[in-house]
Amino acid sequence: MAEVDYEQERIEILKRYRNLLSVCRPTTSKEDRKKIRTAFNFAVEAHKNHRRKSGEPYIYHPISVGQIVVEEIGLGATSVVCSLLHDVVEDTDYTLSDITEYFGEEVSRIIDGLTKISDIFDQTTSVQAENFRKMLLTLSDDVRVILIKLADRLHNMRTLDSLPPKKQLKVAQETLYLFAPLAHRLGFHVIKSELEDLAMKYTEPEAFQSISQRLEDTEKERSKFISSFIQPIRRALQKEDLQFQIQARTKSINSIWGKMEKKGISFDEVYDIFAIRIVIDTPEKRERADCWKVYSIVTDIYRPNPDRLRDWISTPKANGYESLHTTVMSKQGKWVEVQIRTKRMDEVAEKGYAAHWKYKEAKTGESGLDKWLKRIREILKTSEADALDFMDDFKLNLFSDEIFVFTPKGELRTLPISSTALDFAYSIHSQVGNHCLGAKVNHKLVPLSHVLKSGDQVEIITSVKQSPKPDWLQYVYTARAKGKIKSALKEERKRQAEEGKEILERKLKQLKIPYTQENIDKLVKHFKLQAPLDLYYDVAIGLIGQKELKSYASDQERGMLSFLKNTFGRSKESPTAKPETADPIRQQLKTKPDTLLIGDSMENLTYTLSPCCNPIPGDDVFGFVTINEGIKIHRNNCPNSLQLMSKYAYRIVKAKWISNKSIAFLSGIKVKGFDDVGLLQNLTNIISSEYNINIRNIHIDTNAGTFEGTVMLYIYDTQHLNNLINKLKKIKGIQKVTRIGKEDIKDIS
């Protein structure tokens, strides 16, 4: 690594700082320059140990941003101070409190805005979108934040070569995605074009290099051509005694590439690569007349293309841009674009916001940029929580060119291209949009989704009975209209949810389910919804009705039984119990001649007998699920049964007494012996007739005079089975009778 010459760097830093002061001098006072000096010293100290990726001292960057802010954007001393300090809070140990203490509230507020948006593109998409919203909120309060950020991005793009290729591509794509269209929207055409060209250098390197080379190769030819083209215009303008400048310009590389891609043509077929700009110095009251005068002079010399006339003087763009554009055919057979504007218009076009404010007078009322910033505030206020949708909507409007349409009274309104009749309704007023029934365009009835064109005259038809519908979101293009529709739909959803809340309360009452917050939360979870509001809304529109709620009640009962079984358990088994007595119900019947089975699946759960009615085996009973004492058993005619069943129906479970005389269990025996006539008949007679036992199945295999088989039986208890086995052993020919194990029963049955 080369040794750093700190003294040489110190000299270079001072040289760059003096250049900055030099460009500031015409528009700053002595006091302003003192503040700039303080900010410079502060930034030098804060960044003294920082270097850029190129290896240069970091302070070069804030100085360059300050110079762009003054020279190319036209801002004043406060913005220069903020440019010098814009990375201090983010990259050093200094805080906003330090900035406030040294430079005051205004500078601190702008630095805070710059710090908040500094990492917009270093997060996930959703976080980027949310930060983008915050950035625009700051922009709508003080547009200097975004102007300094534009200057910051422009300098970063100019010095992008020092970054690794992957990072270069990422920064370039971000620039095309947001910063170039923002520069365009704020009226900085030159900055927008440079950002696009610099980004293309990394996103389309081969195309960029090819077009750059072609422009370089044809530079002398173009200069000669433009010079001969300008001469007759210059002479004619001088004869009219007009004060003017003629500037030659070449279409930007990105713009040429865009036209080649869009039209599928070669470089040589792009007919308006050449352009000249005629800037006249004339009083504001004569601006329009003199511009048209120049247009008349130019078109007297060269034949114009009637389809290429753009009158941005009569109807300026939303970002304040004013100019008269025409494309004319030169004597050499090449098309040339001619831009005609005044000195004031040129400064507004080049320096956007700052120049616009400089020329704006109170009497002119609200400017185009005023309206645009106002629309941003409205979008921010009415936007839904989904920041990604908001970002997409806003970017659509950011990129859009405008159309000009008229109200029935002839008032001119500006809308983005692709706007519909419904967009127009919302541009007038949110209530006009909300109650829009239809529209007449040029006196003909059209649907709400009708796409407008420049020059259309639009009349909106309204009805107080009309209200926004969800499909309206498909009919609109502008972020304002989408925001207003979403807001209205949200309010309507709330209103319907209130009705749904009352309906749900009535339905739960019919099902004997208490209307409590606990049960509402359970219902929300059961139907997989996000919040109670969604539950009420679904009830209101009929998605959740009596059938669904009954299904929920049944699920709750089954869930409660499962909970009780897991919590309170079955009757405890003896740890030393033998396999034949391990069945819990059988064990219960051995100790209790009568057993209570509970629930739809008739399970043996722990319970207590309620003292209010003292039920006994044989009574018709039901179970009631208590909060802390498990299941309590009541007689059906218990004095409290009516109250329990009406108020707590969802906690009532079935219950039934069963005696050992009425239940049988599946078991099995294995039989071996000598095959003999009538043996099987004797076997089944004893089982069925003498012992009154139901046989489930019999399986016998014979082999060379012997047999082996299994018999599956329903028996009452172990003693019952043992008696049967002893009887079967006495049959002639039977050698062995054994009980089948529990595992074998599962396999056989």
The residues assigned a catalytic role are 90-91
The beta strand positions in 335-411, using DSSP E, are 335-342, 402-406
Cα separation, 342 vs 489, whole angstroms: 48
Long-range contacts of 293-298 (CB under 8 A, 24+ apart): 293/240, 293/242, 294/237, 294/242, 294/244, 294/324, 294/340, 295/324, 295/326, 295/340, 297/233, 297/236, 297/237, 297/240, 298/233, 298/326, 298/328, 298/338, 298/340
Cα separation, 309 vs 302, whole angstroms: 14
Residue 99 dihedral angles phi and psi, to the nearest 5°: -65, -45
Would you say 302 and 364 are in contact if contact means Cβ atoms under 8 Å apart?
Answer: no
Q: What is the dihedral of CA 156, 157, 159, 163, to 10 degrees?
A: 90
What is the enclosing helix (H) or strand (E) of 331?
A: none
Pairing of strands 244-250, 412-416: unpaired
Backbone region of residue 525 per phi and psi (left: phi > 0; alpha: psi in -120 to 50; beta: other values):
alpha
CA end-to-end span of the chain: 85
Would you say 277 and 249 are in contact if contact means Cβ atoms under 8 Å apart?
Answer: yes
Would you say 227 and 182 are in contact if contact means Cβ atoms under 8 Å apart?
Answer: no
Cα separation, 644 vs 641, whole angstroms: 5
List the structure tokens of 423. 């967009």
Residue 409 contacts by C-beta under 8 Å, 6 or more apart in sequence?
A: none
List the structure tokens of 216. 């370089």
Would you say 484 and 433 are in contact if contact means Cβ atoms under 8 Å apart?
Answer: yes
Cα separation, 146 vs 117, whole angstroms: 9
Would you say 325 and 312 are in contact if contact means Cβ atoms under 8 Å apart?
Answer: yes
Residue 404 dihedral angles phi and psi, to the nearest 5°: -120, 120
Cα separation, 244 vs 236, whole angstroms: 12
What is the enclosing helix (H) or strand (E) of 552?
A: helix 546-568
* C-alpha distances in Å from residue 415, one per residue of 164, 377, 407, 438, 455: 41, 17, 12, 18, 12
Would you say 437 and 411 are in contact if contact means Cβ atoms under 8 Å apart?
Answer: no
Residue 346 contacts by C-beta under 8 Å, 6 or more apart in sequence?
A: 277, 279
Query: What is the torsional sign of CA 75, 80, 84, 86?
Result: negative
